[in-house]
Chains A and B, each alone.
Chain A
């Protein structure tokens, strides 16, 4: 089985860390993983995006034209990339920043999750990427929440391991919000 997910936002939202976390979780579950990052010359505020492909066999192309699932964290990435999602795929949107009122994409399921709001409720807006990862896990069913939690130790530098419990709370909040949308 081959899975792919595209994540985009602006620099500072933790897009690349989210990609790393999903990658480590996929490795934890025994997959091969390709993580392909792309970012502008700017750091904070510029565009940041990455593609993760994981499979029990060959990962194939690290470049994905129409992702099965996209996590779009800001308005610009929603405008640019939402329509590229594969027909039958899922577009998980940070509805705290992106207004999706009246937006319809034929064949693509849009799942609005107020990621900033959920992260703020936990205590830090920087947790927005963890909320997104939790929502991905729940919506795709491709990676278990427990694998994401186990992967935090690998994805975070040791000096930030004290923040693991807060990150777990954020991942679970994202998953819960996605579960409510599914029901």
Chain B
């Protein structure tokens, strides 16, 4: 068969993550199976060894994250993946990586919780991901793909940002994005100039200065200095790496905001609202940490009504409220996880229409 469109491939979101990791030069994968992300280790168990890389199914999630820490300390590009219960187990290791300024990619294909929960889609790991997740006060880079193409592109970006800033990076998706298949273009890795990993413990021979990678900092003032340095680095990240998508926001009198799978459903609902003559737009954060606060602030200068939609009882809505102008109203519509709980575009359209019609009249601008 000679397909007229040869460059498009048809893959699952989880497979796209695994393919992107290979393209990004990931040399080691450590993991432990859990639904709905097991396609990632399945793919890499088959393909990573062919590239000379190492695939290892660890004895547990805790084992896997500490192997990631070790590989990263040796300067190797490495990744782990899991879902809610496993990501919770990994938090100790993520905290140690943050404390050791180690890069590394962690993929969380969210499922329902708390506890063992269930395997359907959820966005309730937002707080855990964007607030660091473990102890000690740190942040990790969090990227939220909303398509299989972005599963591919943002996984590659996660490796680069993580290496550039020496901060662990998480790809945060849910079972909708992980399990669905879409036609994508498997782009080649973009050329990025990254600093040498001079800090890595590679065994540089005698006569050179010893490299030490650790999170224990007992020296006088050492820990305080570390925290302020990381604080500045998070600020630099916020200044340079905010990413978001706006749709029909220019004249919007209501802006829907959602991330990941929910943003896809919302976008169709926004299109329905436009077709019904309502001035509605969509704001989708692509980076959840850093959260694109300045973009929200700018939007709220001209639009005073926001509607946050999440597959939870409300988490990202807090960040939206912290980002918009004081006189902007932020409403919320949540669908906590459960079998069959995914909202349809029609249902979201109803939510949008209801709030749009009840919006306060736009005040006349007086000088």
Q: List the one stretch of A54-62, A101-109, A124-132 in contact with chain B.
A: A54-62
B180 touching A34 by the CB < 8 A rule? yes
B10 touching A33 by the CB < 8 A rule? yes
Interface string of A96-135 (1 = CB under 8 A from B): 0000000000000000000000000000000000000000
Interface string of A24-50 (1 = CB under 8 A from B): 100111111111110001000000000
A62 touching B180 by the CB < 8 A rule? yes
B5 touching A27 by the CB < 8 A rule? yes
Q: Which residues of A contact B1 (CB under 8 A)?
A: 28, 150, 153-154
Q: Which residues of A contact B268 (CB under 8 A)?
A: 60-61
Q: Which residues of A contact B264 (CB under 8 A)?
A: 60-63
Does any Cβ of B come within 8 Å of A64's Cβ? yes
A63 touching B344 by the CB < 8 A rule? yes
Q: Which residues of B contact A20 (CB under 8 A)?
A: 10, 181
A34 to B10, CA, bound (A): 9
Does any Cβ of A come within 8 Å of B347's Cβ? yes
Cross-chain contact of A27 among B10, B267, B342, B345 (Cβ < 8 A): B10
A97 to B24, CA, bound (A): 50
Does any Cβ of A come within 8 Å of B3's Cβ? yes
Q: Which residues of A contact B344 (CB under 8 A)?
A: 61, 63-66
Output the least CB separation between B273 and chain A (Å): 13
A20 to B10, CA, bound (A): 9
A65 touching B182 by the CB < 8 A rule? no
Residues of A within 8 Å of B, CB-based: how many?
27
B346 touching A65 by the CB < 8 A rule? yes
Q: Which residues of A contact B119 (CB under 8 A)?
A: 41
Residues of B within 8 Å of A, CB-based: how many?
26
Does any Cβ of A come within 8 Å of B343's Cβ? yes
Interface string of B173-184 (1 = CB under 8 A from A): 000100111110
B181 touching A23 by the CB < 8 A rule? yes
Q: Which residues of B contact A33 (CB under 8 A)?
A: 10, 181-183
Nearest residue in B to A31 (C-beta to C-beta)?
A: B183
Does any Cβ of A come within 8 Å of B94's Cβ? no
| Most chain B Cβ neighbours within 10 Å, of A24, A27, A65, A150 | A65
A27 touching B8 by the CB < 8 A rule? yes
A64 touching B176 by the CB < 8 A rule? no
Does any Cβ of A come within 8 Å of B122's Cβ? no
A28 touching B5 by the CB < 8 A rule? yes
A35 to B180, CA, bound (A): 6
A32 to B182, CA, bound (A): 7
Does any Cβ of A come within 8 Å of B257's Cβ? no
Does any Cβ of A come within 8 Å of B271's Cβ? yes
A28 touching B4 by the CB < 8 A rule? yes
Does any Cβ of A come within 8 Å of B265's Cβ? yes
B181 touching A63 by the CB < 8 A rule? no
Output the least CB separation between B10 and chain A (Å): 6
Q: Which B residues contact A (CB, under 8 angstroms)?
A: 1, 3-5, 8, 10, 119, 176, 179-183, 261, 264-265, 267-269, 271, 342-347
Q: Which A residues contact B (CB, under 8 angstroms)?
A: 20, 23-24, 27-37, 41, 58-66, 150, 153-154
- Nearest first, the 10 A-B pairs at minimum CB distance are A65-B344, A61-B268, A60-B268, A65-B346, A35-B181, A61-B265, A36-B180, A33-B183, A61-B345, A27-B183
In the assembled complex, 12 residue pairs joining A and B whose CB atoms fall closer than 8 Å, in A order, are A23-B181, A23-B183, A27-B5, A27-B10, A28-B1, A34-B180, A36-B179, A60-B264, A61-B344, A64-B344, A65-B345, A150-B3
